[in-house]
Amino acid sequence: MNFRSVAIVIAATGCAMISQAQTISFNSPLPWVTLRNDTITVRAQIDTAALKNKQISITLLSAANGKTSVVANKKFKLTEPSSEFAFGRIRKNLIGGESYLKVKWEIKGSTEKGEIEPIGIADLSTLKNNDTLKAVHVDDNAATADVATKAAPSLSLGNVSYGLAWNKKALYVVLKKSSAGDTLTVALDGKCGKNAFLSYPDRFIETVLGETVSADGYHFERSVRDNRMTYERKAWQCEITQETVGDVIVVTMPWYDSGIIPFEERSIGAVAVVSNKTKKTVPAKANVQIPATWGVIQLQK
């Protein structure tokens, strides 16, 4: 980046904002980043010669549901072109979903100020959600009845019995029929990124059980505004289908709809959720809005 031609570039709400007054570029942390520990350090490139006031005020805030609270507030002298502003540890190993951190900065006596948000934390060394859901391998040309037999519902979550299968064409969710009205949702994080926030590529396969059965897919569009994280459910244009075989239902999700390339022993970030009057998840302590807390689906040989 040419700091002589760009006056100021700061990261805020996922976009770069440009002002023509000074030369400061914040390059860490960036919006939507997931930090892997709770040590917060803000890094910037600064043209100190262009600044009359050689001091910057930086506030670290926690934000959720339209409200903020101050985690730390510090002032730093601006002496070097490459500067690091350390806040130390904040003793929070998981921040994400609808909660996040934000950095506000300001140079007194000028119009220069800005924000960097959202920032998440997911210290994987402290998260024990290593549950693995195994998807059995079926022949690439297997008939639906064969899938239903090989992936017979042997897993239980709440009132729902289900199983998983895969081949090069699709991922299959096999469920036992039920009239209880439960919904089984299997969410997939193809990159297995263990992030603090949902992202656009994360996909949700939803099957509603009852007298009639429906299967569909969706994902979320995320945004931050007024100290509030919003995930808006969006239709996933997909070719998910369902077929009944005896007392089971086979839901088929073609891989090409997900962007995931299947291969033996691949691990895909995943969470399974059953909801009706209550909600149960695998892993048991998973937060659906925080992929870092999910387990994995492993594609068996």
111-156: per-residue pLDDT in tens? 778 999 999 999 999 987 678 999 999 999 999 999 999 999 999 9
4-57: per-residue pLDDT in tens? 333 333 333 344 333 344 468 889 999 999 999 999 999 998 888 777 888 999
Q: Among residues 23, 17, 18, 76, which one has the least CA distance to residue 48?
A: 23
164-193: per-residue pLDDT in tens? 999 999 999 999 998 888 999 999 999 999
Q: Determine the Cα–Cα distance for residues 165 and 277; give it in Å rounded to an integer.
A: 28
User: What domains can you pick out in the chain, each with its CATH number?
Assistant: 8-122 (2.60.40), 132-299 (2.60.40)
47-94: per-residue pLDDT in tens? 887 778 889 999 999 999 999 999 999 999 988 888 999 999 999 999
**Predicted model pTM:** 0.88
